[in-house]
Structure 1
Amino acid sequence: MSELNFGTDLFSEFDRLQRQMAGLFGGFPSSIRSGPFGAFPQINIGSTDGSIEIVAFAPGVDPQKLDVSIDKGLLSISGERAAAQLATDGEEMRTYAQERFVGSFRRVIELPEHADPDKVTAQYTNGCLTVSIGKREASKPRAITVQ
């Protein structure tokens, strides 16, 4: 019988293997609901008894350039964020590093079946786009009296 000897603890070997697999497959998300790293805008999704609440964090986006639509159970948020203009006293500025996303974007979110596309509101405040989608009446919780 052969003896396995990793030379270190087993958990660090699993960690190394996981990093190698992530690099091999391009770092796919660990969950189907996970978005790509650095996706813009970042979103939070929640629910109340009467609605589905989606908050997209999009600072620096002109609300007039945002497009929100629902088609076949998919919520689409798209728009464009312009580059920040820095004062340079008329000199040309060369960028050495840029971490802020600039350009066109689009996020698509699959909605649950109980979302009612006829009951949608959207509001942009302080860099956050809040989309509220009402739930169908049949899916709302209701109390049942026991006789």
Structure 2
Amino acid sequence: MLRFDPFNELDSLTRGLLSGQTGSARTPRFMPMDLYKVDDHFLLTADLPGVDPGSIDIDVDHGTLTISAQRTSRSDDSVSWLTSERFYGTYRRQLTLGDNVDSDRISADYDNGVLTVTIPLAERAKPRKITVAHSDAPKTIEAPAH
């Protein structure tokens, strides 16, 4: 089972406000994502447009999946900005993995600005059919005559 903590983003925002970090208004606030189950695995898709694929870092540590990525801004001093609305900086999301996922087989792919993380279920968590043992020979039950 995969658990999603909806309060994680709120906690991060609160920590940022209480720590006194001012930061840029154009710093990414969150990484939009979808998470769903297909057959014997979970799929996480996250929008990371304009992110350098080499900056994407995915870690699993003590049951927590952490995704972080960096999008850098143009740092050319000769540019005279007319409009600058795109976010840049570090994106980061964390999810708590349940006991029923196989963290050793997690894989990821980045294509056209979308990160796809495949999180397989552990063998012990997959549905399975239990065979009922029985004998084919009929048994005679004898009752004492009264």
- Please report the TM-score for the alignment, with normalisation by the length of structure 1: 0.64
The answer on whether the counterparts of 2:5 and 2:95 sit within 8 Å (CA) in structure 1 is no
Compute the displacement of 1:40 (Å).
2.6
1:108 maps to a residue whose letter is Q
The amino acid that maps onto 1:105 is Y
CA contact (8 A) 1:49 1:140 kept: no
Distance apart, 1:60 and its partner CA: 0.4
What letter matches 1:67 in structure 2?
Answer: D
Greater C-alpha radius of gyration: 2
**CA RMSD, 1 decimal:** 2.9
Q: Report the counterpart of residue 137 of structure 2 in structure 1.
A: none
Partner of 2:120: 134
Contact 1:49 1:141 survives alignment (8 Å): no
In the alignment, structure 1 residue 107 sits paired with structure 2 residue 93: yes
Structure 2 gaps of 5+ residues are 14-27, 135-146
Q: How far apart, CA to CA, are the structure 1 residues paired with 2:78 and 2:124?
A: 62
Q: Do the aligned residues in 2 keep the contact of 1:117 with 1:133 (CA within 8 Å)?
A: yes
Q: Is the 8 A contact 2:63 2:97 kept in 1?
A: yes
| Structure with the larger RCO, 1 or 2 (CA within 8 Å, 6+ apart) | 2
- Structure 1: segments with no counterpart, 5+ residues: 1-30
Question: 1:79-90, aligned counterparts within 5 Å?
Answer: 79-83=69-73
Identity across the alignment (%)? 34
Shift of 1:97: 5.6
Q: Which residue of the partner structure matches residue 63 of structure 1?
A: 53
Instruction: Work out whether residues 57 and 128 of structure 1, in 8 Å CA contact, stay in contact via their aligned partners in 2.
Output: yes
What are the within-5 Å matches in structure 2 for residues 37-76 of structure 1?
39-76=29-66
Instruction: Tell me the TM-score normalised to structure 2 length.
Output: 0.64
